């Protein structure tokens, strides 16, 4: 069988904000770019972003305050040079998005409106109603198409071509008919998004299965700070579907079964707008101590009724619809039920500010870049502030595209051969022909239940050990998997089996990195070590997986700067 080889200057995996922004930069200067995406671009999770995108440009605000809030929000684990870069370039990024055609909501005097978000000193989140991500994604995708970027929609990237510290393409198959192709290029960028689908209760799209991270890790390359998973305070009770922080930004109040606005106890100054880790733990604590509401007493109320119909319809129409659809509750008339939901991945593929992927603490990989949620640059450290990640995806997507333009002429194309596809083909054949007793849906359910129960917003060594053991057990049982659908036409069962393999791999990174971090920092809260320990843990985790799936841990220095370490209160 001969496998087609397509050659481009650059290949980008992922068509969310990061991928589309980078692709546009490259194609705009005449480089030939292919974006490969397992979803139609507009179905990328970026399109689900509701609340906003940060930039300090109002008179009361400053870039320095944005930096300070971000570093404090990160519990001092963010690299301050990267944070400076993010905050300094944020206003220009918003203006660029606007020039590209994004219609932001305005103030009565015509300026871009900004709403308050958690952990921010000033209203800073620019928004388009509560459809910010979709507005931006439509705009940037359209502009990428306009410059001539070639989109390979519904193609699944199964492997990276990586040899001798150089990346030179990917192996992908067409989801429609399973035909495999080799994509060969001077440079490759991963913009594959987040990975919260390994938790039972999560806010993420079904596609957020962390493929990019596991593909990279299987080549023996590191993943950074994987223990830091953000649990968002407001997922709809029972299913975790997101009610954006915009609901609290616009004035939503959190209430327990005693009718108390309980954030007075946990964050007397910032109240509902403390950072997400703080608010999530407060909610879960209220529930644990018996002050939950709802049929299962596993939620708290968010009350928006005092905002009135006009404001809700003008600013939060999508959120209202979500609560009506999933819970039958209309936020105009009554409080709705929420609890914490796994939401965002602070960790990921380690990169420097320019977007070059790290081979280890000191070396980089030629022709390999990453941006957006799959990467760790690290601007979010141990906890991301709301409205900083759409910013990250847009801004770093665009700037990493610029880096690729600068570096591409110095990279020699390493010509691909059929042998490069051998691992991906073997994986496909194995899943199609394996005849064990295990069913993917059952294994996935067990993984998700275990991760939510044992590696969630509260963790201990004991619970994490359970999770480590479970992931190992599931890994063994995965070898016995069998899929029923042996066809090659839209075989979603096959795709889910591959995705589940990815979920298992990166989940091992999450739990093994978490069990070794004997402190509480940002989103990683260890009940057995409930304070931050700067002396021993002010460092990034760099984890590696060997051929047998064993994880080993190393650490990398945090880049400190002008914002000095302080206790974090809100």
Ligand X SMILES: Cc1cc2nc3c(=O)[nH]c(=O)nc-3n(C[C@H](O)[C@H](O)[C@H](O)COP(=O)(O)OP(=O)(O)OC[C@H]3O[C@@H](n4cnc5c(N)ncnc54)[C@H](O)[C@@H]3O)c2cc1C
φ, ψ of residue 202 to 5 degrees: the values are -150, 165
Position 401 contacts ligand X (CB under 6 A): no
* Short-list 411, 392, 387, CA closest to 353: 392
φ, ψ of residue 465 to 5 degrees: the values are -60, -40
* Contact residue for ligand X among 27, 105, 120, 389 (CB under 6 A): 389
Q: Which stretch binds ligand X (CB under 6 A): 91-99, 173-181, 371-379, 458-466?
A: 371-379
At its nearest, how many Å lie between ligand X and the CB of residue 155? 6
> What is the residue whose two structure tokens read 């990640």?
389
Residues 221, 129: Cα–Cα separation, whole Å: 40
Q: Which stretch binds ligand X (CB under 6 A): 386-394, 403-411, 437-445, 510-518?
A: 386-394
Q: What angle do CA 84, 87, 92 make, to 5 degrees?
A: 125
Q: Which stretch binds ligand X (CB under 6 A): 15-23, 258-266, 423-431, 529-537?
A: 15-23
Nearer to ligand X, 14 or 367 (CB): 14
Position 39 contacts ligand X (CB under 6 A): yes
Nearer to ligand X, 242 or 514 (CB): 242
At its nearest, how many Å lie between ligand X and the CB of residue 159? 10
* Contact residue for ligand X among 14, 118, 367, 501 (CB under 6 A): 14
At its nearest, how many Å lie between ligand X and the CB of residue 518? 28
At its nearest, how many Å lie between ligand X and the CB of residue 223? 15
Q: Which stretch binds ligand X (CB under 6 A): 7-15, 359-367, 444-452, 516-524?
A: 7-15
* Number of residues this chain uses to bind ligand X (CB under 6 A): 46
Nearer to ligand X, 56 or 157 (CB): 157
Position 19 contacts ligand X (CB under 6 A): yes
Active site residues: 276
* Contact residue for ligand X among 86, 97, 191, 424 (CB under 6 A): 191
Residues 383, 201: Cα–Cα separation, whole Å: 19
* Contact residue for ligand X among 373, 496, 505, 512 (CB under 6 A): 373
* Contact residue for ligand X among 27, 46, 143, 541 (CB under 6 A): 46
Q: Which stretch binds ligand X (CB under 6 A): 47-55, 87-95, 432-440, 519-527?
A: 47-55
Residues 227, 230: Cα–Cα separation, whole Å: 10
Position 61 contacts ligand X (CB under 6 A): no
Residues 58, 62: Cα–Cα separation, whole Å: 8
At its nearest, how many Å lie between ligand X and the CB of residue 331? 17
At its nearest, how many Å lie between ligand X and the CB of residue 527? 27
Residues 382, 563: Cα–Cα separation, whole Å: 16
Task: Find the distance separating the first CA and the last CA of the chain, reported in whole Å.
Answer: 62
At its nearest, how many Å lie between ligand X and the CB of residue 530? 28
3-state class (DSSP) for residue 177: coil
Distance of CA 204 to the CA centre of its chain: 9
Asked if 276 and 120 touch (Cβ cutoff 8 Å), the reply is no
Nearer to ligand X, 16 or 116 (CB): 16
Q: Other CB atoms closer than 10 Å to residue 368's CB: what's the count?
A: 25
At its nearest, how many Å lie between ligand X and the CB of residue 273? 14
Asked if 302 and 254 touch (Cβ cutoff 8 Å), the reply is yes
Position 157 contacts ligand X (CB under 6 A): yes
Question: How many Cα atoms sit within 13 Å of 162 on the Cβ side?
Answer: 22
Position 244 contacts ligand X (CB under 6 A): yes
Position 383 contacts ligand X (CB under 6 A): no
Asked if 392 and 73 touch (Cβ cutoff 8 Å), the reply is no
Nearer to ligand X, 194 or 367 (CB): 194
Nearer to ligand X, 212 or 252 (CB): 212
Strands 336-345 and 364-370: unpaired
Q: Which stretch binds ligand X (CB under 6 A): 12-20, 83-91, 277-285, 522-530?
A: 12-20
Position 390 contacts ligand X (CB under 6 A): yes
Render 461-507 in DSSP notation, one character per residue. HHHHHHHHHHHHHHHHHHTTB--S---SSS-HHHHHHHHHHHHHHHH
Rg (CA), the chain: 22
At its nearest, how many Å lie between ligand X and the CB of residue 288? 25
At its nearest, how many Å lie between ligand X and the CB of residue 128? 10
Per-residue mark of binding to ligand X, 499-538 (x: CB under 6 A):
----------------------------------------
Residues 543, 507: Cα–Cα separation, whole Å: 12
Burial class (CB in 10 A: 0-12, 13-18, 19+), 502: buried
* Contact residue for ligand X among 10, 15, 144, 447 (CB under 6 A): 15
Position 337 contacts ligand X (CB under 6 A): no
Position 93 contacts ligand X (CB under 6 A): no
* Short-list 184, 187, 162, CA closest to 172: 184
Q: Give residues with Cβ within 8 angstroms of 33, minimum separation 6.
A: 8, 9, 10, 11, 12, 23, 26, 27, 149, 150
Element housing 10 (H / E) = strand 5-13
> Which residues in 193-222 contact ligand X (CB under 6 A)?
193-194, 203-204, 207, 211-212
Position 45 contacts ligand X (CB under 6 A): yes
* Contact residue for ligand X among 91, 235, 372, 501 (CB under 6 A): 372
The neighbouring-strand residues paired with 254 are 302
Binding region for ligand X (CB under 6 A): 13-19, 36-39, 41, 44-46, 48-53, 132-133, 156-157, 191-194, 203-204, 207, 211-212, 242, 244, 344, 372-374, 387-391, 393
């Amino acid at each position: 069988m001969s496998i087609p080889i397509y050659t481009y200057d650059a290949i980008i995996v992922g068509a969310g904000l990061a991928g589309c922004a980078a692709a546009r930069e490259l194609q705009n200067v005449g480089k030939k770019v292919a974006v490969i995406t397992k979803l139609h671009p507009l179905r990328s999770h970026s399109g689900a972003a509701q609340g906003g995108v940060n930039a300090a440009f109002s008179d009361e605000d400053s870039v320095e305050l944005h930096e300070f809030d971000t570093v404090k929000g990160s519990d001092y684990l963010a690299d301050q040079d990267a944070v400076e870069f993010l905050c300094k370039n944020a206003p220009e990024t918003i203006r660029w998005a606007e020039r590209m055609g994004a219609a932001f909501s305005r103030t009565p005097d015509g300026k871009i409106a900004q709403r308050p978000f958690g952990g921010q000193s000033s209203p800073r989140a620019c928004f388009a109603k509560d459809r910010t991500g979709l507005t931006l994604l439509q705009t940037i995708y359209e502009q990428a198409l306009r410059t001539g970027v070639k989109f390979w929609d519904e193609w699944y990237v199964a492997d990276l071509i990586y040899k001798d510290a150089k990346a030179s393409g990917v192996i992908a198959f067409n989801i429609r008919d399973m035909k495999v192709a080799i994509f060969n290029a001077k440079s490759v960028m991963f913009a594959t998004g987040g990975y919260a689908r390994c938790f039972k209760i999560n806010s993420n799209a079904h596609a957020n299965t962390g493929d990019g991270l596991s593909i990279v890790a299987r080549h023996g390359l590191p993943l950074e700070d994987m223990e830091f998973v953000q649990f968002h305070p407001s997922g709809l009770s029972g299913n975790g579907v997101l009610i954006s922080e915009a609901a609290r930004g616009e004035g939503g109040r959190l209430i327990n079964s005693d009718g108390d606005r309980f954030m007075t106890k946990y964050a007397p100054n910032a109240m509902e707008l403390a950072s997400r880790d703080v608010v999530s733990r407060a909610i879960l604590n209220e529930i644990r101590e018996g002050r939950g509401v709802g049929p299962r007493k596993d939620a708290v109320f968010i009350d928006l009724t005092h905002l009135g119909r006009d404001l809700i319809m003008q600013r939060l129409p999508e959120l209202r619809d979500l609560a009506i659809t999933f819970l039958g509750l209309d936020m105009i008339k009554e409080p709705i039920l929420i609890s914490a939901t796994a939401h965002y991945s602070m960790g990921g593929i380690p990169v420097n500010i320019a977007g070059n992927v790290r081979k280890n603490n000191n070396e980089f990989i030629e022709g390999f870049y990453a941006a957006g949620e799959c990467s760790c640059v690290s601007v979010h450290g141990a906890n991301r502030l709301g409205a900083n990640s759409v910013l990250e995806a847009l801004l770093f997507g665009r700037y990493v595209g610029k880096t690729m333009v600068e570096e591409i002429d110095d990279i020699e194309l390493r010509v691909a051969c059929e042998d490069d596809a051998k691992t991906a083909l073997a994986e496909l054949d194995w899943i199609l022909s394996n005849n064990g007793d295990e069913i993917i849906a059952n294994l996935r359910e067990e993984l998700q239940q275990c991760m939510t129960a044992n590696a969630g917003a509260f963790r201990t060594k004991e619970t994490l050990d359970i999770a480590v053991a479970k992931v190992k057990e599931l890994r063994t049982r995965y070898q016995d998997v069998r899929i029923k659908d042996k066809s090659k036409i839209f075989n979603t069962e096959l795709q889910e089996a591959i995705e589940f393999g990815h979920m298992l791999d990166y989940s091992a990174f999450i739990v093994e990195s978490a069990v070794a971090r004997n402190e509480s920092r940002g989103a990683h809260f260890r009940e057995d070590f409930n304070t931050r320990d700067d002396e021993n843990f002010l460092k990034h985790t760099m984890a590696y997986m060997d051929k047998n799936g064993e994880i080993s841990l190393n650490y990398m220095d945090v880049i400190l700067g002008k914002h000095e370490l302080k206790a974090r209160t809100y």
